[in-house]
Amino acid sequence: MTDYRRLRVALLGAGSVGSQVASLLRQHGDELADRAGATLELVGIAVRDVDAPRDVDLPRELLTTDAETLIVGADIVIELMGGIEPAREYLLQAINSGADVVTANKALLATHGPEIFDAADQVGAQVYYEAAAAGAIPIIRPLRDSLAGDRVQRIMGIVNGTTNYILDRMDKEGAEFGDVLADAQALGYAEADPTADIEGYDAAQKAAILASLAFHTAVPLDAVHREGITRIDASMMDAARKAGYVIKLLAVCERMVADGDETISVRVYPALVSREHPLASVHGANNAVFVEAEAAGPLMFYGAGAGGVQTASAVLGDVVSAARRHIAGGVGVGESTRANLPIVPIGHVTTRYQITLEVNDQPGVLATIAGILSDGNVSIATVEQTVIGDDIEGAGTARLVIGTHKAREQDLSDTVDTLAQSGVVEKVASVLRVEGD
């Protein structure tokens, strides 16, 4: 075996990802050394409780509760603790003591990314975070490096496995949200407290990270418009299916011109996606990121978005990259946020919509509704009217499904309010955005 330089690797956290990273580092040590050009010596694993039960056997002598001492003298620090503090503090300590850092902490990067990247810039260190955006799917390097000479126009990502699992089963089985969620929790696809997933918080963090990279702009988490999937019910799924769509929770990052200026929009919400679109074929807990770039055209990256060993793959790729950079020398290349595009609020965004109304089935109703839409600057593309239930005498209730051309979100939202108060609409059954065509 070649006699390589030894690099000291400190691991913070031994949960489902961390324990796999530790295990793979030890199992494939020789192979990784050949690839990195350096021996990766795991010098310690910081945990909260050295006696806690773990999925993977880790050598007791590597475990410590003293993260700060472990970080001192490490060449590469892998942060897999999650949460904001003390992860932020430890990462900054690692950077300032000359280590390169690898993290899968999307919450931290989405909230304190600029602080961490600035700290790394100042000392010439590098921050690697391939695992933070879509688990095992390589998307950070493609956006940051491969597409660095192109202009990304739009990203549409299925970046949360739990919600895709739930929506996919609702689509296939015609089941209700609550039932599938309960089942997903029993099967381990959803957590006991599923809020971060089903309310879109997790997807919003990833959207902020992807948009920052794609548009070379610091995107703070609170600039991401976020809606969850809890309002999606079986009837909306059914209607979508009949219209040739599937409902997916999308992270959309889009370059757009607003009032003559180049801007971006970053938003997470459930949207109608044509069954012909590649994203419609992403089933189960899988993730996919669809990228449209000016020169490259459409690209898609598909794979497992979560899972301990899958995410560990992305972490270890970063560790090898960090080791290669240590051997090669030079400073980290830093993050490019120099474009610094303004981020528009959701009200300025234009998309297509599908509005489902229950209306009094009387003469003149359609004309009234069409008038309200027109007054609100919402242009109708398609209308489909069906009588609800057995009442075909004309005096009952009809369902109107209106597809719009691209409309401004604020106009659409105001118009839906006007419709709701118009007296002719009994109920606004659903309003969904249409993405991807």
Residues that bind its own copies (CB under 8 A): 2, 20, 24, 28, 31-32, 34-37, 124, 130, 136-138, 140-142, 145-151, 216, 278, 281, 293-304, 307, 309-310, 312-321, 324-325, 327-334, 336, 338-339
Smallest separation (angstroms) from its own copies to the CB of 379: 32
Count other Cβ atoms within 10 Å, centred on residue 339.
14
Smallest separation (angstroms) from its own copies to the CB of 323: 9
Looking at 206, 242, 406, 427, which residue is catalytic?
206
DSSP string, 373-392: HHHTT--EEEEEEEE-TT--
Choice between 140 and 211, CB closer to its own copies? 140
**Distance in angstroms (rounded) separating the CA atoms of residues 13 and 61:** 15
Choice between 24 and 204, CB closer to its own copies? 24
Is the Cβ–Cβ distance between 130 and 313 less than 8 Å? no
Smallest separation (angstroms) from its own copies to the CB of 360: 45
Smallest separation (angstroms) from its own copies to the CB of 401: 28
Count other Cβ atoms within 10 Å, centred on residue 146.
13
**Distance in angstroms (rounded) separating the CA atoms of residues 366 and 316:** 59
Smallest separation (angstroms) from its own copies to the CB of 121: 11
Choice between 278 and 403, CB closer to its own copies? 278
Choice between 76 and 378, CB closer to its own copies? 76
Smallest separation (angstroms) from its own copies to the CB of 247: 20
Cα within 13 Å of Cα(416), Cβ side:
20
Is the Cβ–Cβ distance between 280 and 271 less than 8 Å? no
H/E element, 71: helix 67-71
Active site residue 406: no
Choice between 213 and 434, CB closer to its own copies? 213
CA dihedral sign, ordered 134, 135, 136, 142:
positive
**Distance in angstroms (rounded) separating the CA atoms of residues 387 and 22:** 61
**Distance in angstroms (rounded) separating the CA atoms of residues 239 and 356:** 9
Choice between 151 and 348, CB closer to its own copies? 151
**Distance in angstroms (rounded) separating the CA atoms of residues 90 and 12:** 9
Count other Cβ atoms within 10 Å, centred on residue 51.
8
Cα within 13 Å of Cα(430), Cβ side:
23
* CA neighbor of 265 nearest in space, from 336, 157, 343: 343
Smallest separation (angstroms) from its own copies to the CB of 176: 28
Residue 87 dihedral angles phi and psi, to the nearest 5°: -55, -45
Choice between 113 and 376, CB closer to its own copies? 113
H/E element, 323: helix 308-328
Q: Among all residues, which ones are annotated catalytic? A: 206
